Amino acid sequence: MKKLTLLGAAVLLFASACQKEKPLTTLPVIGNQETETPSLGERRCASYEVLQEQISHNPSLARRMEEIERFTQDFIDNKGNQRLLADGTIEIPVVVNVLYKTTAQNISQTQIQSQIDRLNLDFKALNTDYNNTPALFQSLRSGSMGITFVLSSVVRKSTTKTSWTTNDAMKKTSQGGIDPTTPTTKLNLWVCNLSGGILGYAQFPGGSSTTDGVVIDDNAFGTTGTVSAPYNLGRTATHEVGHWLNLRHIWGDATCGSDLVNDTPNHNTANYGCPTYPHLSTCTGTPVEMTMNYMDYTDDACMYMFTAGQKARAAAVFITGGPRNTFAQL
């Protein structure tokens, strides 16, 4: 009697546990090979028989395989990773928000496209100056970062404001700026007159989506129109999008600080202009500084590469569980 009650409870528990599970489609039955006796000398593969034997001792294996099957079919159907292209690269739609007081500040479509083109060249390592990399650093280069930027839309707004600061007002309609367009799936760029000689700034992964994106001064955006040397090759955006992808300044924003990337050398501090190679660091080991890295502060013409370590760090933002995984999803 006691035994029966226990058994009954066990059955009830089992039944209720099963009801919580989604209904499972059964594993496909492939023929009935186990009943077929192979002819002499015929080769056969025992995998499916071994699987069935394992399942008979371990029913949870069948459920685990159902999960794997669902995951596999979702991948094949391109659900959940629509923007991850077949070659593993990711396509990022870009919204350009233009705030202008003067007509010159209302930059042309050509200037906007020149910035998108520059981003694509630099992030695919198709920039011609990539080949200027000194031999010492050539094996450390990223190759293509695997990111394609596609201009999605342009939002223009006339303003009475002469210049903007780093307080994010340009990102808020309520403060005379422009709210971002779907910032969890689109990279928003704001082009405006920044005060204080600031060329641009980015929001790192992890911040509020309402202020997510990159701000670039109108005289440092793109490669034509209102751009002014030595920031006239669109590299301010390359640098800032690097931050948006979680890359730090190569000097780690401290004397001999770390950028959390182990294939970039330690830099004493930021470099400006166009340093003569080799520029030696004063940090431990006096390594040659990688002044041509996009995450330094050198002139546009003197920065032209990311490293493989920077590529790995940037790629981490898009994978499942990553802070920008929404960009990789449907």
Point out which residues bind ligand ARG (CB under 6 A).
Answer: 198-201, 231, 235-236, 239, 297-300, 303
Sheet bearing 90-100, strands edge to edge: 147-158, 90-100, 187-192, 214-217, 200-202
Q: How far is the CB of 239 from Ca ion (least distance, A)?
A: 16
Tokens of 100: 């202008």
Q: Does 217 sit near Ca ion (CB under 5 A)?
A: no
Residue 192 or 261 with smaller CB distance to Ca ion: 261
Residue 300: which of Ca ion, ligand ARG, none does it interact with, CB under 5 to 8 A by kind?
Answer: ligand ARG
- Stretch (H or E) spanning 18: helix 2-20
Q: How far is the CB of 205 from ligand ARG (least distance, A)?
A: 17
Q: How far is the CB of 245 from ligand ARG (least distance, A)?
A: 14
Query: Hey, is 93 helix, strand or coil?
Result: strand
Tokens of 227: 């751009």
Residue 259: which of ligand ARG, Ca ion, none does it interact with, CB under 5 to 8 A by kind?
Answer: Ca ion
Q: In angstroms, how far is the first alpha carbon of the chain from the final one?
A: 56
Neighbouring C-beta atoms of residue 138, cutoff 10 Å: 11
Q: How far is the CB of 47 from ligand ARG (least distance, A)?
A: 56
Residue 193 or 246 with smaller CB distance to Ca ion: 246
Residue 223 or 264 with smaller CB distance to Ca ion: 264
- Stretch (H or E) spanning 111: helix 109-123
Residue 91 or 299 with smaller CB distance to ligand ARG: 299
- C-alpha to C-alpha distance for 59 and 104, rounded to whole angstroms: 70
Residue 251 or 304 with smaller CB distance to Ca ion: 251
Residue 311: which of ligand ARG, Ca ion, none does it interact with, CB under 5 to 8 A by kind?
Answer: none
Query: Hey, is 238 helix, strand or coil?
Result: helix
* Active-site entry in 67, 69, 240, 289: 240
- C-alpha to C-alpha distance for 47 and 312, rounded to whole angstroms: 37
Q: How far is the CB of 295 from ligand ARG (least distance, A)?
A: 9
Residue 168: which of Ca ion, ligand ARG, none does it interact with, CB under 5 to 8 A by kind?
Answer: none
Residue 264: which of Ca ion, ligand ARG, none does it interact with, CB under 5 to 8 A by kind?
Answer: Ca ion
The distance of Cα 168 from the centroid of its chain, to the nearest Å, equals: 22
Binding mask 153-192 for Ca ion (x = CB under 5 A): ----------------------------------------
Residue 240 a catalytic site member: yes
Binding mask 224-263 for Ca ion (x = CB under 5 A): -----------------------------------x-x--
Residue 84 or 250 with smaller CB distance to Ca ion: 250
- C-alpha to C-alpha distance for 268 and 252, rounded to whole angstroms: 9
- Is the separation of the CB atoms in 239 and 247 below 8 Å? no
Q: Of 122, 98, 97, 83, nearest to 240 (Cα)?
A: 122
Residue 235: which of Ca ion, ligand ARG, none does it interact with, CB under 5 to 8 A by kind?
Answer: ligand ARG
**Residue from 264, 269, 293, 310 in contact with Ca ion (CB under 5 A):** 264
Q: Of 163, 150, 144, 137, nearest to 265 (Cα)?
A: 137
Which residues, in sequence order, are CB contacts of 147 under 8 Å at separation 6+? 89, 90, 92, 123, 124, 245, 314
Interface contacts to Ca ion, rule CB under 5 A = 259, 261, 264
**Which residues carry out catalysis?**
240
